[in-house]
A = this chain, B = another copy of it.
């Protein structure tokens, strides 16, 4: 805590970035990072601007296209070079009507939202008996054919976790649950929202059906509705529970999405760039503030801060990927288009805007000096070193495809799944103080990387 206090004191004295610096922050980059901790304006402006002036930006829709136009204008206004939209084609699914109600024995409506890539019930809906599975494992244990003509209810419950591991625990209920239920005969599936809060705002998200299994309608109930349905099974005392479901999503066919790219050009553009990524699309229910306008604001602000501290050696390339939510279309398109252009290191911000608490790389053993320098550089912001091997996020497929260097700046995800993929993903959920800590940490790390002459992966 002592160092942290010193940093805060130093930052307070940095109303002018050119002011005298404490010894341990004598370099312009560290001073810039400290300054960002208290004075970020760019990340918030991006976040507020795109959520207010564009709002939801669903993959493949005209709203996402407006998001690209908005982001490019912002990047150009902020002085980025080589701002471009790199278009790609995708299959686009959009939501329709969505209602659910229990018709027997306890009549009442339920709050539901359709899952991405699912089929329509048709406008007249379907009515069927509900079969209750407390967990994913219970569904796995069901006999083939046992769900013929039924609606499966997977109530697999999720707890908050700081490192996001609760998503791996509960996520399969959404990712593959509807497909698994369909393979056992279910005509539709409802799941408990993959979320950790108790609001009447169901969590959407993509699902996929295995080859040979016809997609069915599937939706997520809000957590209070899932609780209620569970209680109904207790109170019905063996009487069957019937649900009526109207979900009318549709496929729009092939539409155009795009990746927005922009650069801070380095002094030696022949060196492989530092890639800082986020995604520009969002689910349609919220305004995509924490998922992922915040990430785009953070990486862009950090790139600007590094430039402010002096033109970096390497180019910093910002990638605001399109169409992440519905299947990483943009990340795959970027990798396919640029696979032959080596990336120096890939990093992504896509886990909200709460504080970074852990530093991870995948070159701790191959370039221990750089790993240690980076970890040490952000310790004053409360970020711990880690031996976990970074694997990167959804938007940097290219780094994984190239087998390149990756850094994960792990954000605190305790609150993230209260908001994830819900209407509640709005600007007011972002804590400006924590957002600034993200910008400070990213500034520090990206700045060191962008000024590294040797290979980031090996030090050579």
Contact = CB atoms under 8 A, between A and B. Distances in A.
Interface of A: 48-49, 51-56, 63, 66, 106-109, 111, 198-201, 223-224, 227-228, 231-232, 235, 286-287, 422-424, 426-429
Contacts of A55: 106-109, 228
Given A107-B66, A228-B427, A426-B228, A235 B199 contact: no
Contacts of A51: 228
B224 A52 contact: no
A192 to B, nearest CB: 13
Contact of A424 (B109, B224, B227): B224
B235 A106 contact: no
A285 B107 CA distance: 14
Contacts of A106: 52-55
A55 B286 CA distance: 27
B235 A53 contact: yes
B52 A228 contact: yes
A294 to B, nearest CB: 15
Nearest to A236: B53
Contacts of A286: 200
Nearest to A108: B55
Contacts of A48: 231
Given A55-B108, A227-B428, A231-B48, A201 B198 contact: no
A47 to B, nearest CB: 11
Nearest to A284: B109
Given A53-B106, A106-B54, A427 B199 contact: no
A108 B227 CA distance: 32
B422 A224 contact: no
Contacts of A49: 235
Given A199-B199, A199-B201, A231-B427, 8 more contacts: A52-B235, A55-B228, A56-B108, A199-B424, A200-B201, A200-B424, A201-B201, A224-B424
Given A200-B424, A227-B427, A427-B227, A109 B232 contact: no
A206 to B, nearest CB: 21
Contacts of A232: 52-53
Contacts of A66: 107
Contacts of A200: 201, 286, 422-424, 426
A55 B199 CA distance: 16
A423 B111 contact: yes
A82 to B, nearest CB: 27
Q: Give the residue among A49, A199, A231 with the most B Cβ atoms within 10 A.
A: A199
A431 to B, nearest CB: 12
18 contacts: A51-B228, A52-B235, A53-B106, A66-B107, A198-B428, A199-B201, A199-B424, A200-B423, A200-B424, A200-B426, A201-B201, A223-B428, A224-B424, A224-B426, A227-B427, A228-B287, A228-B427, A231-B427
A401 B305 CA distance: 69
A227 B429 CA distance: 12
A223 B53 CA distance: 17
A84 to B, nearest CB: 24
B108 A429 contact: no
8 interchain residue pairs of minimum CB distance:
A55-B108, A200-B423, A224-B426, A52-B231, A53-B106, A198-B428, A200-B424, A224-B428
A224 B54 contact: no
Nearest to A425: B200
Contacts of A199: 199, 201, 424
A429 B51 CA distance: 30
Contacts of A107: 55, 63, 66
A199 B286 CA distance: 11
A109 B58 CA distance: 13
A66 to B, nearest CB: 7
A158 B223 CA distance: 27
Nearest to A227: B428
A48 to B, nearest CB: 7
A240 to B, nearest CB: 15
Contacts of A63: 107-108
Contacts of A224: 424, 426-428
A193 to B, nearest CB: 13
A31 to B, nearest CB: 32
